[in-house]
Amino acid sequence: MKVCILTLFPELFTPFWDHGIIRRAIQAEKLDPVTINIRDHAEGRHRVTDDRPYGGGCGMVMKPEPLTAALMEAKTRMPQATVLLLSPQGRPFDQTLAESLSATEAMVMVCGRYEGVDERFIDRHVDAEISIGDFVLTGGELGAMVITDAVTRLIPGVLGNEDSAQSDTFSDGLVEYAHYTRPPVFDDQDVPDVLLSGNHQKIDRWRRENALIRTVLKRPDLLEQRALSAEERRTLEKWRRIIDGLLE
């Protein structure tokens, strides 16, 4: 996958490209990233990329000319790329969207700064606005890294174990089951016996049940639109009886 980041601070991405899964994906030629400095496409001696908003108000607005010129450079490298703008007004980023983006061949992410981006650039060039949460950051760079990380791990061949991405939290609409490793006893807490049994059928059943119950406790909102399977209904009925017994 080709990924292009339009940013005023390309140096922020250097350590990001150089570590962990992202670095391995680049080395394996699964990910081909590039950053373009928006300021390089600004005119004048001072390379100005922002100006005061029409109509007054606080802050500055990113100018459409350097953004458009930077995007045109990106488009020469990846003509069919999906253009995304990191924006708190955008569609919330989630695992479903990450999976959809991982199937694309290329994407350009525009990192906004200041009060925002001239709306004319958005109307003409942006395919989708994406938000990583209902909060405001100083710029879109961290959001671009979050999206790149989430999408990259879904590209076939990036993770050492292909089952890892499929079992991640949200991959099937549930949070992930609890994880344990050595030692078997820590701080007077034991690893569940079933995980030490070697019976993979029982382990799989425990993990499915554990993921469902953890979703009820941690993210019940995920179950509101979920069509429960017969097994999931039996699990919830069992736990309801347990809870009803405790309340009697």
Q: What CATH number did the domain enclosing 223 receive?
A: 1.10.1270.20
Same domain, residue pair 141 and 226: no
Could you tell me the sign of the dihedral formed by the alpha carbons of 130, 132, 135, 137, in that order?
A: negative
Domain that holds residue 203: 185-247
Q: Which residues are catalytic?
A: 88, 115, 153, 168
Are 138 and 83 found together in one domain?
A: yes
What is the per-residue pLDDT for 160?
77
Whole-structure pTM value: 0.89
Q: What pLDDT shows up at residue 122?
A: 98
Domain end: 152, 169, 199, which one?
Answer: 152
Beta bridge partners of 190: 185
Q: How many domains does the chain contain in total? A: 2
Residue with tokens 């609409």: 173
Residue ranges in 28-63 assigned as alpha helix (H): none
* Residue 191 and residue 87 share a domain: no
Torsion angle in degrees (nearest 10) through CA of 21, 22, 23, 25: 80
Identify whether 232 is part of a domain. yes
Residue 160, domain member (yes or no): no
Tokens encoding 111: 């990192």
Dump pLDDT digits (tens) for 87-127: 999 999 999 999 999 999 999 999 999 999 999 999 999 99
d(CA 82, CA 108): 6
- Please tell me whether residues 62 and 112 are part of one structural domain: yes
Q: Considering only CA atoms, which of 159, 156, 162, 129 is closest in space to residue 144?
A: 129
Percentage of the chain surpassing pLDDT 90? 92
Query: What pLDDT is attached to residue 168?
Result: 64
Torsion on CA atoms 157, 163, 169, 170, rounded to nearest 10: 80
Do 73 and 189 have their domain in common?
no
Query: How far is Cα 21 from Cα 145, in angstroms, rounded to an integer?
Result: 12
Tens digits of residue pLDDT in 48-67: 999 999 999 999 999 999 99
